[in-house]
Chain A
Amino acid sequence: MEMAAPTSLSRLAIFRKTGAFQKLLAFASLILLIVVFSASSPNFFKFDNIVGILLATAVTGVLALGSTFVIITGGIDLAVGTVMTFSSVIAGVIITFGSGSIVLGIAGAVAAGALCGAASGFAVSRMNIPPFIATLAVMMMTKGLSLVISGTKPIYFVDTPDFAKIALGTSIEAIIPGFAIPNAVFIFFGMAIIASLLLSKTIVGRYNFALGSNEEAARLSGINVRRWKIVIYTITGAFSGVAGILMASRLNSAQPALGQGYELEAIAAVVIGGTSLSGGRGSILGTVIGALIMSVLTNGLRILSVPQEWQTVIIGGVVLLAVYADMIRRRNA
């Protein structure tokens, strides 16, 4: 890149190019939404409701964090929702039918998620199947396997009451009494920090952006593109595994028939957060904000008793606007 004189104009250009503009736009939209809903209903800006929004963000939020990695490569992962379910079923099998060890169940769920991710990555990079198709296949397989393994029945965690506390316990109260925020919220933010560090401080993150910007250039500069793609899809899968634990813990059961459709919400959150579907650009902070926008919008519209048909229309409109804003930004950059 050519060094430009730091005039105010080129500073604006840099500002736009780094994606800070979109992030700011997304953040400003989030604040605006919160202000509008707070003004429209006295019941919106209340501690319990804000906690409710954060808790509702946790599952799709963690899925969206994981999806960010694959989307930055210019790929897509349609399997995250059903891989989440598959992981929760694996946790159920280990904890309820197996050893009864919660730690082992968590490890098994994350490993199962990672394995599914690796399978997607393998299909994409080694078998050269387009990500859309490869992950569609994994989506179907994991959906079916969840039903097969569970015998089409939910698996309950009734013998291990501590399992429900993973998401719904309020460990923070031990430090700040009366501050009853469920663990799931902290797990979500913790996973966001991990994702952000992975993306900005490690070699995986650097290669992730390199792959997404120009795969051919990345290959020519000696990056083992195939191997790193598998690594990236595996990371996405592991995040789905964590989401699976959160979901199972919150419902105190692994529900084998759920999960499909969550991937689209995750993708929407990522896109609203300014990560480009054509790859090479994106950020975890953006995804966190995108996920929060989705759940603030859903919650706020419900609080205002907007008919559900219209809620869906409005959320669809927001996704459209977000993608359009992204395109305009790219054209100007």
Chain B
Amino acid sequence: MKASKSFAMAAVLALVAALLGACGASGNGSGNVGGKEGGEAAPSASAASPSASSAAPDKIYIPVISKGFQHQFWQAVKQGSEKAAKELGVEVTFEGPDTETQVDKQIEMLQAALDKKPQAIALAALDSKAVIPLLQKAQAAHIPVVGFDSGVDSDIPVSTAATDNLKAAALAADKMAELIGGKGEIALVVHDQTSRTGVDRRDGFKKEIEAKYPDIKIVDTQYGGGDHLKSTDLTKAIIQAHPNLKGIFGSNEGSAVGVVNAITELKRDDIVVIGYDSGKAQMDAIRSGKMAGAVTQDPIGIGYWAVKAAYMAYKGEAVDKTIDTGFHWYDKNNIDSDEIKPLLYE
């Protein structure tokens, strides 16, 4: 009994030590990107809450609240935000919830960011209505907010740096129509039915097909949560249910890779696959011809402009209400071109 008690104590102490160590590390390291001097001069405690309650900050701090973190797309956005931070000499932190459904978690992150009294905030809202009360708080505190990746239903954000997903998906639809010869059955594998990007890409694609191509029929739309394996299995079911399918559109990286896996497993290379975003698996599929092509956004540009617009807003400079960060079609002919290559991430 005694032994186990002292063991328990030791275990708890070890855990506490590990946690403290981890906190210290994040305070010094990832907590202040692009602000090396500030981080080294100041003790880690102040680095974690930069410029708290100081009227004239010696360091501009812009928290970037993203929709995600683990996904490679968001890592590319993060890269862009760090690029802007370095260029402008500001300090940014980048965080986002684990999945793009954790609206509550994102709100906590936004609240915590506001509490640090930053000079400006960049936000990619998961639920554009749910964040409005906090945006009003920001407005009251004179903290300019810049939206990125998708808009917010409010005029509080001074600017929004985003891809026009409706237009981008319409481009994918035009390409699909061209590649299947303007008629036949097609299906959509979408990452989810509630997020702005999921809805816009689905609707942008559907509307374009309905408006311009009466002989093309969308026979099924399913949602795989962007999970590669689930998207694979559900695409296989779609193909089984509709053997005459001529094309499938995958609305993000996980969905598109799932579609490629499915046609590979079923040996249905005759089906035209169109994807979205990049990632190594998708790029390989395009190079090998399994995927006809994909629409890419400019994730680095999105991150870059989010921080830059926030900085400009803080400085009182004029910023456009919307910054279209653009989108491009790529296939095996231009995948290595100078125009496309910098937009793709592995």
Which residues of A pack against B, CB within 8 Å? 41, 43-44, 46, 48-49, 52, 55-56, 59, 126-127, 147, 152-154, 156, 158, 168, 182, 247, 250-253, 255-258, 260, 295, 298-299, 302-305, 308-309
Contacts of B220 in A (CB 8 A): 305
11 A-B Cβ contacts within 8 A? A43-B240, A49-B236, A49-B237, A126-B4, A168-B265, A257-B98, A258-B229, A302-B234, A302-B238, A304-B241, A305-B241
Return A90 CB to nearest CB of chain B, in Å: 18
Instruction: Tell me if B133 counts as interface (CB < 8 A to partner A).
Output: no
Contact B241 A56 (CB under 8 A): no
Contact B193 A48 (CB under 8 A): no
Contact flag A55-B265 (CB < 8 Å), given A257-B70, A299-B237? yes
Residue of B nearest to A309 (CB): B193
Contact A303 B227 (CB under 8 A): no
Contacts of B7 in A (CB 8 A): 126
Contact B241 A52 (CB under 8 A): no
- Complex formed: what's the CA distance from A152 to B346 in Å? 12
Residue of A nearest to B224 (CB): A308
Q: A43's contact among B70, B72, B243, B265, by CB below 8 Å, is which?
A: B243
Contact A303 B240 (CB under 8 A): yes
Instruction: Tell me if B11 counts as interface (CB < 8 A to partner A).
Output: yes
Return B304 CB to nearest CB of chain A, in Å: 20
Return A91 CB to nearest CB of chain B, in Å: 16
Contact A52 B228 (CB under 8 A): no
Contact B229 A251 (CB under 8 A): yes
Contacts of B4 in A (CB 8 A): 126
Q: B240's contact among A49, A153, A253, by CB below 8 Å, is which?
A: A49
Return B285 CB to nearest CB of chain A, in Å: 11
Contacts of B193 in A (CB 8 A): 308-309
Contact flag A303-B233 (CB < 8 Å), given A55-B265, A153-B346? no
Mark interface residues in B214-236 (1 if CB within 8 Å of A CB, else 0): 00000110110001110011101
Q: Which 7 A-B pairs have the closest CB atoms?
A: A302-B237, A257-B70, A56-B233, A303-B241, A49-B240, A52-B236, A308-B223
- Complex formed: what's the CA distance from A48 to B8 in Å? 54
Contacts of A298 in B (CB 8 A): 233, 237
Mark interface residues in B225-259 (1 if CB within 8 Å of A CB, else 0): 00111001110111011110000000000000100
Instruction: Tell me if B266 counts as interface (CB < 8 A to partner A).
Output: yes
- Complex formed: what's the CA distance from A290 to B165 in Å? 40
Contacts of A43 in B (CB 8 A): 240-243
Mark interface residues in B251-292 (1 if CB within 8 Å of A CB, else 0): 000000100010001100000000000011100100000000
Contacts of A168 in B (CB 8 A): 265
Return B6 CB to nearest CB of chain A, in Å: 13
Q: B228's contact among A147, A156, A258, by CB below 8 Å, is which?
A: A258
Contacts of B241 in A (CB 8 A): 41, 43, 302-305
- Complex formed: what's the CA distance from A55 to B220 in Å? 22
Q: B261's contact among A251, A258, A309, by CB below 8 Å, is which?
A: A251
Contact B229 A247 (CB under 8 A): yes
Contact B281 A156 (CB under 8 A): yes
Contact flag A255-B228 (CB < 8 Å), given A126-B4, A303-B241? yes
Contact count band on B: 35 or more
Contact B71 A257 (CB under 8 A): yes
Which residues of B pack against A, CB within 8 Å? 4, 7-8, 11, 69-72, 75, 98, 193, 219-220, 222-223, 227-229, 232-234, 236-238, 240-243, 257, 261, 265-266, 279-281, 284, 346
Return A170 CB to nearest CB of chain B, in Å: 11
Contacts of A41 in B (CB 8 A): 241
- Complex formed: what's the CA distance from A158 to B229 in Å? 18
- Complex formed: what's the CA distance from A200 to B72 in Å? 45
Contact flag A52-B237 (CB < 8 Å), given A43-B243, A250-B229, A250-B232? yes
Contact flag A258-B227 (CB < 8 Å), given A152-B75, A154-B280, A252-B281? yes
Residue of A nearest to B75 (CB): A152
Contact A48 B232 (CB under 8 A): no
Contact flag A59-B229 (CB < 8 Å), given A156-B280, A302-B234, A308-B193? yes
- Complex formed: what's the CA distance from A41 to B242 in Å? 11
Contacts of A158 in B (CB 8 A): 284
Contacts of B223 in A (CB 8 A): 308
Return A36 CB to nearest CB of chain B, in Å: 15
- Complex formed: what's the CA distance from A102 to B7 in Å? 39
Contacts of A247 in B (CB 8 A): 229
- Complex formed: what's the CA distance from A303 to B233 in Å? 11
- Complex formed: what's the CA distance from A153 to B72 in Å? 7
Q: A256's contact among B70, B232, B280, by CB below 8 Å, is which?
A: B70
Residue of A nearest to B237 (CB): A302
Residue of B nearest to A311 (CB): B222
- Complex formed: what's the CA distance from A87 to B71 in Å? 19
Residue of B nearest to A299 (CB): B237
Which of B8, B240, B242, B266 neighbours the largest number of chain A CB atoms within 10 Å of its CB? B240
Contact A251 B222 (CB under 8 A): no
- Complex formed: what's the CA distance from A59 to B261 in Å? 16
Residue of A nearest to B257 (CB): A251
Return A117 CB to nearest CB of chain B, in Å: 19
Contact B280 A48 (CB under 8 A): no
Which of B69, B223, B236, B261 neighbours the largest number of chain A CB atoms within 10 Å of its CB? B236
- Complex formed: what's the CA distance from A253 to B279 in Å? 12
Which of A41, A48, A251, A257 neighbours the largest number of chain B CB atoms within 10 Å of its CB? A257
Residue of A nearest to B8 (CB): A127
- Complex formed: what's the CA distance from A303 to B245 in Å? 13
Contact B229 A48 (CB under 8 A): no
Contact A152 B280 (CB under 8 A): no
- Complex formed: what's the CA distance from A46 to B70 in Å? 38
Contacts of A304 in B (CB 8 A): 241
A49-B236, A56-B233, A308-B222 given; 15 more Cβ-contact pairs under 8 Å: A43-B240, A43-B242, A52-B236, A59-B229, A153-B72, A154-B280, A154-B281, A250-B229, A251-B261, A253-B228, A257-B71, A257-B98, A299-B233, A299-B240, A308-B193
